[in-house]
Structure 1
Amino acid sequence: MPALKPVTTRSALLTLLLGAELPSLTTRELVAAASVVGFAEPAVRVALSRMAAAGDVVRDDEGRHRLSDRLLERQRRQDRATRPAVHDWDGSWEIVAVTTAGRTAADRADLRTTLGELRLAELREGVWTRPANLAIDWPAAVEEVSDRFTGAAATDARELAGRLWDLADWARTARELLAATDTTDPVLRFTACATSGRHLLTDPVLPAELLPRDWPGEELRASHVAYKQWVNDMRRSLVDAG
């Protein structure tokens, strides 16, 4: 089993808001949802107050809580992680060559993070690539400092993918998380599913031709989506009953 870190009340509430089918939730709805996964109402109310003060959530005049603007992109990334926009692969690769020099260390680190979030891997310093099977919305932060083009791999594509991503390790962790969700303990299941959401963000979403046999990516996505739906259904039932 993977080493599952306990989920704090703040992390639990963020996970619930990130996975909610509504743009905002009332305190009552959040208390109900958090109670399902082992968090008491006083702790939830304290955490919500602190999250509002820290700018994690915004509370409107009707008492509903929504994610702050800076966390909405994280929600969009998680949505894309469970529903990646893939298309048939023609064998070509996306290539991004960073061309702008003189950037600060912070700017370089931000660019690396952005390219990683777009599921590219660094072939060598300043050159990033991935199979061209994803519909990528290229941000200005990438467009302004790089040249982009597509091309064929000069080496065996499957071997190249194996060098760029540790596929065996990703698959092993995914299978461990799937096993960890097979429990009747709601807290352990929630912890495993919250961890699954983060793990899906690192799935390279490669074409099937480049993946090992029995790749668990789709199974983990389906499990994560099903669990989010269960939590949302349970939240609604508890609120209706109350």
Structure 2
Amino acid sequence: MADLSARSVVASTLLGTVPPRLPGRLLVAFAGEFGIQAGTTRTALSRMVDRGELRHLEGGRYELAGDLLARHLRQEAGLHPIVHPWDGTWELHVVPPGARSSTDRAALRRAAGHLGLWERRDGVWMRPANLAPDRLPNARAIVAAQTESYVASPTENPASVLASLYDLAGWSGRAADLIAELEETGTERTTPDRLADGFVLAASALRHLVTDPLLPPELEPEGWPARHLRTAYDSYLGDYQAGLRAFFRRHTMSDASVPRVEGHGPTMTP
């Protein structure tokens, strides 16, 4: 298991908690399972408050703020997507001619990714029109400000268009690996003495789930594993949460909100 920083453990744990707040003593205790000293975690909490990543609430609780809170909201939307029946049309967003700053380009790329749009070529973003058109208003506003939007019906075979936009085999292969890991070794990682190991597995599965391209059934390749992965993750999560509750009971006299962990430290470290 890779070494995780105190900030990474705190951020990842709160990203997976609904609502995204926990007592500081539980964050400190949980970070200790990764070999992180209590003083190190308390310093990380203070610095995250100073950077606007956390808010320190009365009663010694901490909750997500700023960009991490926005990420939490996107994650929840990805885990509970609103998917509509597909009528065969596609969302199409085209950047009009003209100079744009590198900052604007980067913002558009991030926003398009959050909305599940894929780049056909430079300045052209699209996906099947089966998701709620008002999803993620902040990301939608960025895309609307920089592109012209259309409803399109490609003359090419839709499966061919999709294959040119998204690495279906790559997503499917990683999902299959995670399903096998969750079903074959997941249970042994949910006991209170293996929470750190289980945290990393849950994080990996959830990270992949929120990148699900949310294909219309008409475009799903044979054996597409998205639903199987969600089922395997939900089953594992129930066992993992039970292990966390047992761990938290050792540090408090009452049940605590139990994390649904997401992400592992190195990808979140600034």
Same fold (TM over 0.5): yes
Equivalent residue letter for 1:115 = A
Partner of 1:26: 23
Task: Choose from 174, 177, 188 the match for 2:197.
Answer: 188
Say yes or no: does 1:98 pair with 2:99: no
How big is the alpha-carbon RMSD for the aligned residues of Structure 1 and Structure 2? Answer: 2.5
Identity of aligned residues (%): 36
Residue 54 (structure 1) shift = 3.2
After alignment, is 118-127 or 176-185 more displaced? 176-185
Aligned length, in residue pairs = 238
Partner of 2:228: 219
User: Unpaired segments of 5 or more residues in structure 1?
Assistant: none
**Cα 1:177/1:91, change in 2 over 3 Å:** same
- What's the TM-score, normalizing by structure 2? 0.78
Distance across 2 between alignment mates of 1:25 and 1:123: 42
After alignment, is 217-226 or 136-145 more displaced? 217-226
Distance across 1 between alignment mates of 2:19 and 2:238: 12
Say yes or no: does 1:206 pair with 2:215: yes
Cα deviations across residues 206-240 of structure 1 (Å, max 9, x unaligned)?
A: 11221222222223233444555545444444444
Equivalent residue letter for 1:198 = R
Say yes or no: does 1:150 pair with 2:151: yes
User: Unpaired segments of 5 or more residues in structure 2?
Assistant: 253-270
Tell whether the 8 Å contact from 1:6 to 1:191 is kept in structure 2 after alignment: no
1:121-140 alignment runs, 5 A limit: 121-136=118-133, 137=135, 138=137, 139-140=140-141
Give secondary structure in 2 for the equivalent of 1:50.
helix
Cα deviations across residues 79-119 of structure 1 (Å, max 9, x unaligned)?
A: 12211111111111111111262210121111011101211
**Cα 1:199/1:23, change in 2 over 3 Å:** closer
Distance across 2 between alignment mates of 1:21 and 1:116: 23
**Cα 1:5/1:172, change in 2 over 3 Å:** farther
Give secondary structure in 2 for the equivalent of 1:144.
helix
Partner of 1:115: 112
Distance across 2 between alignment mates of 1:174 and 1:61: 41
Give secondary structure in 1 for the equivalent of 2:156.
coil
Tell whether the 8 Å contact from 1:98 to 1:126 is kept in structure 2 after alignment: yes
Residue 63 (structure 1) shift = 1.2
- What's the TM-score, normalizing by structure 1? 0.86
